């Protein structure tokens, strides 16, 4: 059993003819991702990296039985692309695009929930399963080693940083999920924890959070009451000043809530050790595995 994707997942890349779509579909194919089709409205009939391109997701599904989508469509059209994937019952739908208006995100997430479909992102590096050689996203595959730790994070490069540290310490990853850096994302930390908890391939979890919102605090409370697997956390933004937006739209401390200190305390209260620096994550995992 695996989390959200597995080796049989058949992937469609929406926006495959764009520069990002073309570049990353090639990188995904090299990694081993089972990309069977691409979609760009109006560009049907072309081939990109030997992958056939269709005008609609519906056609890609009819011809190839695609089961999941990864979206590289520019922000003004990204939500529309996600709606198309949801209408075709693809699951998960991974939205890499950043700067998607929040009103659009809310509509997409609401529709996906109604159909019990998981949206990852937007503004996410994606999802990767090193053991299954599947990545739906933009992460450098070589820093992720296959293993038994589930990793989820609100930040892209920080995910790579921590994965690389784990790889160096010879600790592997079952599935890594970038939750996305926006205030409203499809998959929340608490939902991610639930997925890993039910995954027989995952023996421990790493939760990487950052300032802003209270999703980490909620996940900590859930872990305290419900989760038996060892969990280790890291929180970025200990030194971030209040009121300033630190790159991610979601990373802002407002009205005294969403501070790193509050999140760290919530994890510690739940018995979850919190790493002081990214490289300490591997150490804490060793101690707790």
Q: In what order do the strands lie in the sheet with 68-71?
A: 47-48, 51-54, 35-39, 11-14, 68-71, 93-95, 119-120
Q: Whole-number minimum distance, CB 50 to other proteins, in Å?
A: 22
Q: CA angle, 238 as apex, 119 and 106 as ends, to 5°?
A: 20
Q: Which range in 8-16, 44-52, 63-71, 92-100 contacts other proteins by CB under 8 A? A: 92-100
Q: Which range in 35-43, 48-56, 62-70, 247-255 contacts other proteins by CB under 8 A? A: 247-255
Tell me: does residue 21 bind other proteins (CB under 8 A): no
Q: Are 262 and 216 in contact (CB under 8 A)?
A: no
Distances in whole angstroms, Cα of residue 167 to Cα of each of 75, 111, 148, 173, 273: 34, 37, 12, 9, 20
CA distance 68 to 121: 14
Closer residue to other proteins in complex, CB, 59/161: 161
Q: Whole-number minimum distance, CB 164 to other proteins, in Å?
A: 7
CA distance 164 to 167: 5
Q: Whole-number minimum distance, CB 288 to other proteins, in Å?
A: 21
Residue among 73, 147, 149, 161 that touches other proteins (CB under 8 A)? 161
Q: Are 115 and 90 in contact (CB under 8 A)?
A: no
Q: Is 248 marked active-site? A: yes
117 token code pair? 């479909």
The residue annotated as part of the active site, out of 24, 64, 99, 248, is 248
Q: Which residues are catalytic?
A: 248
Residues found near other proteins in the complex (CB under 8 A)? 24, 75-76, 98-103, 105-107, 109-111, 125, 138-140, 143, 153-161, 164, 181, 183-185, 188, 208, 210-211, 213-215, 218, 234, 236-241, 244-251, 255-256, 260, 276-279
């Amino acid at each position: 059993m695996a989390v959200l994707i597995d080796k049989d997942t058949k992937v469609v890349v929406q926006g495959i003819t764009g520069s990002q779509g073309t570049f990353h579909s090639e990188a995904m194919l090299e990694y081993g991702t089972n990309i069977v089709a691409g979609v760009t409205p109006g560009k049907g009939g072309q081939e990109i990296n030997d992958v056939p391109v269709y005008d609609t997701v519906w056609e890609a599904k009819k011809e190839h039985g695609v089961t999941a989508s990864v979206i590289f469509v520019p922000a003004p059209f990204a939500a529309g692309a996600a709606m198309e994937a949801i209408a075709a019952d693809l699951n998960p739908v991974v939205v890499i695009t950043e700067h998607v208006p929040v009103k659009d995100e809310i509509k997409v997430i609401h529709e996906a929930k109604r159909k019990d479909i998981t949206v990852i992102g937007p503004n996410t590096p994606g999802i990767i399963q090193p053991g299954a050689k599947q990545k739906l996203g933009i992460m450098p595959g070589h820093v992720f080693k296959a293993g038994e730790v589930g990793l989820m994070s609100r930040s892209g490069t920080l995910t790579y940083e921590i994965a690389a540290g784990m790889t160096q310490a010879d600790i592997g990853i079952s599935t890594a999920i970038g939750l996305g850096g926006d205030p409203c994302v499809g998959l929340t930390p608490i939902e991610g924890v639930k997925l890993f908890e039910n995954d027989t391939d995952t023996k421990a979890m790493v939760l990487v959070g950052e300032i802003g919102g209270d999703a980490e605090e909620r996940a900590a409370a859930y872990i305290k009451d419900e989760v038996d697997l060892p969990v280790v956390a890291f929180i970025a933004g200990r030194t971030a000043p209040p009121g300033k937006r630190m790159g991610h739209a979601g990373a802002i401390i407002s009205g005294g809530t969403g501070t790193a200190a509050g999140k760290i305390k919530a994890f510690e209260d739940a018995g979850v050790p919190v790493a002081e620096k990214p490289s300490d994550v591997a150490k804490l995992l060793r101690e707790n595995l």
